[in-house]
Amino acid sequence: MKRKFDPAVPELMDRPQPLTRELERDLANIRSLNRWFGSYRQVRHFLVRWLQPNDKARILDVSTGSGDIPRLIVDFARGGNVSVQIDAIDQQAATIEIARRLSNDYPEIEFFCANLFAWKPSEPYDIVLCSLTLHHFSEDDAVRVLQKCREFTREHVLVADLRRSLWLTFGVYLVTTTIYHEAMTKTDARLSAARAFSFAEVRELARRAGWKNFGHRKFPVGRQVIWL
């Protein structure tokens, strides 16, 4: 099945908007989807390998949403005697406001309303994470995302996203009909399934971005991860 992407039709959560109950509910649904459909499991898989006791790590989380991935990392680090400092960026001011409110007990995280392409860190990061973001971009801009992630790190990059398939489309339609049926979540999840890159397409994007000796594997459910 062919990828369907129209830059003139952004996902609802990508459109400038005030802080509303609808946005809060949508971000809560995304946290639930991340918990039950693989995103947290993917991140933990690499944290165990990349962060050892007594390590210190400076981390960037791209398109952080409500900050659940950074909070997951901090919880992991606290339990493993690892010191982390996390910069979490998202271009939506209302989303960042929600993330800050949910992260009051996480001083290790600093949130910024910022666009990845304009972000200028003071020094390279040890780890750059980018989760469920790549499908929001055209092919050319997705290549730029991968280039920026590589540019910002001295060591590791982890980019996780959906993996386009008929099974993913069917699953998304099922869960947005039976469980996550709020309008914003339903609309954006179905758009995401159509806009996701295939496994082969992500590999080609990485090659175009100049990535070499990278890892790439499939994860359940309908997910894929590419890393340096």
Q: What is the pTM of this model?
A: 0.95
CA separation for the pair 83, 126 (Å, rounded) = 12
Position 165 scores a pLDDT of 94
Residue 60 structure tokens: 């960037």
- For position 220, what pLDDT does the model report? 87
Residue 24 counted as domain residue: yes
From the first residue on, what is the mean pLDDT of each consecutive set of 10 residues in the chain (228 residues)? Answer: 93 93 97 93 95 96 98 97 98 97 98 96 96 97 98 97 95 95 96 97 98 95 94
Q: Is residue 133 part of a domain?
A: yes
Whether residue 111 is contained in a domain is answered as yes
Any domain includes 55: yes
Is 2 within a domain? Answer: no
Looking at residue 49, its pLDDT comes to 96
The whole domain housing 95 covers 12-227
For residue 199, give the CATH number of its domain.
3.40.50.150
Tokens in use for 109?
């995280």
Strands of the chain, DSSP E: 56-62, 83-90, 109-113, 125-131, 153-162, 215-219, 223-227
Query: Locate tokens 């998304």: which residue?
Result: 172
Q: Which residues contact 102 (CB under 8 A, 6 or more apart)?
A: 66, 67, 68, 71
Number of structural domains found in the chain: 1
Task: Specify the pLDDT at position 1.
Answer: 85
